[in-house]
Amino acid sequence: MADPVESVSQELGPAGQVAKAGEFQPLQLGPLAVWPPVVLAPMAGVTNLAFRSLCREQGAGLFVSEMITARGFLNGNRLTNLLASSDPSEKPRSVQVYSSDPIDLSEMVRALVDQGVDHIDLNLGCPVPKVTRTGGGSAIPLKPRLVARLVRAMTSVAGAVPVTIKMRKGISADLITFEDAARAAEEEGVAAIALHGRTAEELYSGQADWNSIARLKQTVAVPVLGNGDIWECWDALRMMRETGCDAVVVGRGCLGRPWLFRELAQVFDGREPDPPPNMGQVALVMRDHAARLTDLFGASTGLRHMRKWSTWYTKGFHGSAAIRGRLHLIESLAELDSLLSELDPDEPFPRSALRTSRAKRGGRQKVRLPEGYLDDLQDDTPPKGPHSPAEIAAHERALEGG
């Protein structure tokens, strides 16, 4: 085989070749075997129980919660608990946590293990200035010994429950952090490492660098989960083939397209994927999603959540332009039904909407780090986290993912 780092092309093929029998293995996370090797990316404001259950029913794999902050969770914050909630049918149950405090992390992992959680992921990729400015989020992997300390705080109390981390490539092209951080985490017993092939400076812009995923695969022995720009099922197969990664993590590609998980299950099982749904079929999924959101959050908040989903689901459908504004004002499921009935159910799925980001515009940022943060990269002192209730609330609002 050619050097995988050299050969990652990311060329867009049309449809690809479905998986051959035995070509890929289930993702092994400690005692957990995940087939197909597909993971729903943790996404704040997105991967709550409503969306996870919808995706799971379409396909199979591992469906990670949105990021749950340890402080909010340990303080018994009502919203945090709701975001962390699950139901007995959710098996395996996977939760992403965030904290830069080892004591909080240990406490949270203990509580989650007691609740029967099957997988815990630590978010080390958050690029939000409010977080990196204090040395948290994607600033943490700059300090491998701090990574080790945080991971140890988790693995030492997790028992058989697999702990993983999710990172970005680094802060910027000049500050690439993933390899040293990955080695440190591996030594402390992580079950796998997920890598988003962008730096914090790049946010969500440009194309994810799959070479970094191939490089991580050569750096650690634990499974590597590749993340970045899986828009269609074919991208998942291509990423696995080109980088040698053990599983793919699907983020923006499934926003308003939960059936992507069905297509993924089909191609990993060696079958051609179903054609994309037409407007009528999408409308049924929207209605189902809205009902799940109102079940979870109550009518008012659930319908407010549904606004962004309506935009994502109808993206590119010409006929939906006329009702899009009104979709944002719905106050009941009956109103949603009535609006959806105005659409032409036979309008085919717009190909143009397949490879476009539905959330997070392009654009880069200058990453803020604490004063003098780069002076001692061997330091393992945890950054000061928020403490007062007001600080915690502001921090929670600022956090929006990796």
* Phi, psi dihedral angles at 248 (to 5 degrees): -115, 150
Rounded to 5, what percent of the chain is helix, strand, coil?
45, 15, 45
Q: Which residue has the CB atom at the shortest distance from ligand FMN?
A: 401
- Residue 19 is given by DSSP the state P
Cα(175)–Cα(179) distance, rounded to whole angstroms? 11
Q: Which is nearer to ligand FMN, 25 or 207 (CB)?
A: 207
Q: Which is nearer to ligand FMN, 29 or 279 (CB)?
A: 29
Q: Which is nearer to ligand FMN, 309 or 317 (CB)?
A: 309
User: Which of 347, 350, 353 has the alpha carbon at shortest distance from 279?
Assistant: 347
Q: Which is nearer to ligand FMN, 144 or 251 (CB)?
A: 251
H/E stretch holding 300 reads helix 299-314
Q: Output the smallest distance, CB 228 to ligand FMN, in A.
A: 4
Cα 9 to chain center, whole Å? 24
Among the listed residues 55, 126, 233, 254, the single catalytic one is 126
Q: Which is nearer to ligand FMN, 222 or 343 (CB)?
A: 222
Query: Where does this chain bind ligand FMN (CB under 6 A)?
Result: 41-46, 66-67, 96, 123, 125, 166, 196, 208, 227-230, 250-253, 359-360, 400-402
The answer to whether the beta carbons of residues 65 and 47 sit under 8 Å apart is yes
Report the alpha-carbon angle 370-376-381, nearest 5: 70
DSSP string, 336-353: HHHHHTTS-TTPPPPGGG
The answer to whether the beta carbons of residues 285 and 277 sit under 8 Å apart is yes
Q: Output the smallest distance, CB 41 to ligand FMN, in A.
A: 3
CB pairs under 8 A, 24+ apart, for 392-397?
392/69, 392/71, 392/72, 392/75, 392/77, 394/130, 395/69, 395/71, 395/130, 395/131, 396/69, 396/72, 396/77, 396/80
Maximum distance among all alpha carbons in the chain? 61
Q: Which is nearer to ligand FMN, 343 or 399 (CB)?
A: 399
User: Which of 230, 165, 229 has the alpha carbon at shortest distance from 194?
Assistant: 165
Count of beta carbons in the 10 Å neighbourhood of residue 25 = 12
- In the residue annotation, 126 being an active-site residue is answered as yes
Q: Output the smallest distance, CB 208 to ligand FMN, in A.
A: 6
Would you please indicate which residues are annotated as catalytic (active-site) residues?
A: 126
